[in-house]
Every structure is written in structure tokens, then in C-alpha cells.
Amino acid sequence: MGESFDAVVIGAGPNGLSAAVALAQAGASVLVLEATNEVGGGTRTAELTLDGFRHDVCSAVHTTGILSPFFRSLPLEEHGLRWIVPPASVAHPLDDEPAVMMWSSLTETAESLGADACSYEKLVAPFLEDPHPFFEDVLGPLGWPSRPGLFMRFGLKAMWPATWLASWRFREARARALFAGCAAHSILPLTNMFTAALGVIFSIAGHVEPWPIAAGGSFAIPTALGGLLRELGGQIRTGARVDSLADLPPARVYLFDTSPNQLAAIGEPVLPGGYVRRLQRYRYGPGAFKLDWALDGPIPWRDPNCLRASTVHLGGTLEEIAAGEAAMYRGEHPDKPFVLLCQQSQLDPTRAPEGKHTGYAYCHVPGGSTFDMTEIIENQVERFAPGFKDLILARHVMRTDDFQHYNLNYVGGAITGGVADVFQLFTRPVARWNPYTTPNPRIYICSASTPPGGGVHGMCGYHAAQAALRRIERFEPAPLR
């Protein structure tokens, strides 16, 4: 029979590695199989443009990573992970006035919002007294919360469309724009129910731990997880592609850090046909079009405060952002899209040669889009930073097919693991009492296509590991047939 294990994890992204660490902490013998030649999934760093310019290939700013209950419980700093925290999480430039800033201080942020200062404070402040139990609740599957009253207070705000909550709660354009930029991370029309949820969560997060980057590059996260896993006795094999059950060694349980369609293709011989068909019907939704730049200097924002934020939201007013995201969701490519821009080299000088900078930006596009958004994105940056284009030394483009080639989990360029609308928010990848389980008690799914969805937080992997640990002793190591 050869070598066998208690658990085999397919995929070495942050969720797969988190699942492996959680299993190894419980004493299980664990093997991680990764198809590519390095671990990381959406957290790799590479010289995409010119020598010496280190770009994050996918995820860049880790809003939920620094707040992840599982990451917080691990000694990742002993394995090289260091968070770099900015003075401000978000800068949101506007055309004819200073940028709206989400400073780490709630008071300082509120004071810049004019007539909406009190309303913004009331939205966020109740969650700051003891925020970590709240994040344990929102970064997990649907269940009974640890603090029901506070969670209900969140739910009464989160359930609404972002456009409705922002317009009802705030009187002026500045606060509405700041909230819209946070909510637009949902990659949904802001008129959809529950799109206010990310607006509220990301606003709270920015005043608990400003949205950080990983020193040296996002690759530091999987590097630290992999180092800890090996310290616990786990194994990682790269260049080990799994296309069928025959590629898997004997084990008690198997955890798939893959998209639902990959699980369906590999697991079809040992999964019920009805479940496989439901996996195949999973909706991935919009994709992303991303640019990385090597720059000859810092971005010349009209408001220099923008240089103090890890993330810049480019899209103007609430109405403009909502219109752009709605058009994108209809299959169009708006002339003024919502653009998320990250400024890693402003915080971490190791990312670029002395005096130079990196730039990173993406916008949402229809799934599978082949449209070139380069000029449109660069026009949005130039709109708020005149002279930006003159600083571009080189650029690297990633279209939706590039994202899927880079990581098969990103079907059609869907970088967050699939649509998180009201029909798929609580039932991803299919409706089950425990979403990480499958009808085969030896098979689990632990990717971002499970709750709580996209983001580098490892919680999908952690919760899947807990589900597997409840059953693992029932089985002897054996081939999955």
C-alpha cells in the first residue's frame, strides 16, 4: 500500500495550509499536495515587471488576515510573518475636494466626515469594545453567535443593500463614498441585499487593525504556515498535481482546497451524482482585470494624504461606484470602473529599488472577460493623480484567463471563490448543515468557495479541519475508491 496518512490536503493556498496546520496541531499525520512548484495560491509574490520590483500576484492587503482568529492563535511571526500597518486603511479620492481617509483612529476619521461624523461613529463604535469575538462570528459558517446581541445589531445593518444603508445613514457624499468603496469589495451590484455587510465589516476592521500588508510580500503568509506545518510534522509536496483519485495516497480523510468544479471532476467516482451536479452548478460570477506597474516614483496624488493609505478606492461618489458595479454585473465594461489600488512599496521599501515604487490595481469585470481594461484603469488613476502615466516604467497585465491559468480555483477570473449573494452566501458550495462536508464522510472542501468566502484568513481551512477531526477516527487509512 505504501505510505499513508491521517489526512491529505489537496492545494497549498492559505486555506489548504491552514487546514493542514489545524489537523497537525491535533496530532494527525498530514500531507499537502500542491500542483505548482511553490505553495501560496493567491498569496505569491514575484518580479512581474522589472528586476527588483516585487509584486503581489493576487492578494495584497490583508484586511481579515491580521484579524483572523486562527492566524492570531498561531506563532506565525516565529516563521517570518510580520504585518506592516499603515496610518490609514483607505484613501478615497474625490474630484473637487480632499480625499476621504479611513484613519486608524475612529475619532479622526469621523471628524473628517462633517455632518456625518456622529452617524459614522455610531455605526462602528459598538463593535470596537471587544472586536475579536465579533470577527470569530463573521469569519465562520452560519451558526449561533458568541455575542448574539451584538451580532443581531450587525445583522440589522448588514442585510440591506449598500446603497440603501449609505443613503439612509449618511447625509453627505464623503461618508457615502467611503462606505460604498468598502461595500464594493463584495463584487455585487450595491443595490443587492446584504451588500452592506462588507461595508460594515471593513469599516470596523479599519479601526481595529488598519488594513496591513505582509513584510516582503504576501508570500510570507504561506511561507510561515508551511514552516509551522513542517515543525508540527506535516509534509508538503509541490509539483504534485491531482487529476484523479489515482493520484492520491491512502489516508483517512481528504480535504480539497479547490473550486467546486475541480472537486466534482476528481471526486465524481465516489460522490453521489446529485451532489456532483450541484457542485457543477455553483456560480463563480465576475472576474478581475489587474495591472502591476514599475514606477519611477510615488503616485502623484492630488491629495498627498493618499500616500498614507495601504488601499486607495478609485470610483468617486456612491452613485458612480454603484453604477459601475451594476454595469459590470450586467456584462458591461464601464468607462469609469471601481478600481482598487494598493501601495505596498509606500509601506515596505523592500518591494522596489531605492527611489522607485510598485503599483497594483484591479477592477471587476464580467467572468471570462477578454476586454483590455488597461487604458481605462490608468485613466481612473490619472483622474486623481495627474502625471501618473509619466511614471510608468513597465506594466504587467492579468486578464481573467490569466487568473484562472495562475490558479484553477479562480474560475473565469473569480478571485473570491464565487458569488456571495443572498442565494449563495450561506449555502456555498451547496446547501448542507455543515458546508465543509460532502456526502462521502472522508471528503471535505476547504477553499474560499466555503464560508466565510474570499480573503486571506485561513478560516475556511480551519473550519473544514474541525469538521474532519470529528470523524477522522472512524476510518483506517485507505485509498479513496
What grid cell was written down for 55? 509584486
DSSP 65-120: TTT-HHHHTS-GGGGT--EE--SEEEEE--SSSPPEEEESSHHHHHHTTGGGHHHH
Domain 83-213+285-406, what architecture? Alpha-Beta Complex (3.90)
Looking at residue 374, its pLDDT comes to 98
Strand 309-314, strand 88-92: pairing: parallel
Largest CA distance in the chain: 71
CA distance 327 to 315: 13
Output phi, psi for 340, to 5 deg. Answer: -100, 120
Per-residue pLDDT tens digits of the chain, which is 481 residues long: 479 999 999 999 999 999 999 999 999 999 999 999 999 999 999 999 999 999 999 999 999 999 999 999 999 999 999 999 999 999 999 998 999 999 999 999 999 999 999 999 999 999 999 999 999 999 999 889 988 999 999 999 999 999 999 999 999 999 999 999 999 999 999 999 999 999 999 999 999 999 999 999 999 999 999 999 999 999 999 999 999 999 999 999 999 999 999 999 999 999 999 999 999 999 999 999 999 999 999 999 999 999 999 999 999 999 999 999 999 999 999 999 999 999 999 999 999 999 999 999 999 999 999 999 999 999 999 999 999 999 999 999 999 999 999 999 999 999 999 999 988 988 899 999 999 999 999 999 999 999 999 999 999 999 999 999 999 999 999 999 8
Residue tagged 492559505 (cell numbers)? 14
pTM of the model as a whole = 0.96
| Domain limits, CATH 3.90.660, in the chain | 83-213+285-406
Looking at residue 1, its pLDDT comes to 44
| Domain limits, CATH 3.50.50.60, in the chain | 5-80+215-282+416-474
CA distance 38 to 40: 7
* Residues whose CB falls within 8 Å of the CB of residue 99, separated by 6 or more in sequence, listed in order: 91, 92, 93, 301, 303, 305, 306, 384
Q: What's the N-to-C CA distance of the chain in angstroms?
A: 14
- For residue 116, CA distances in Å to 170, 180, 183 come to 6, 15, 18
CA distance 13 to 331: 29
Class of domain 5-80+215-282+416-474: alpha beta
88 close to 309: Cβ distance less than 8 angstroms: yes
What grid cell was written down for 360? 497594483
Looking at residue 423, its pLDDT comes to 87
Looking at residue 422, its pLDDT comes to 86
DSSP 253-274: EEEE-S-HHHHHHHHGGGS-HH
Q: 236 forms bridges with which residues in the sheet?
A: 32
For 198, the 3-state DSSP assignment is helix
Looking at residue 33, its pLDDT comes to 98
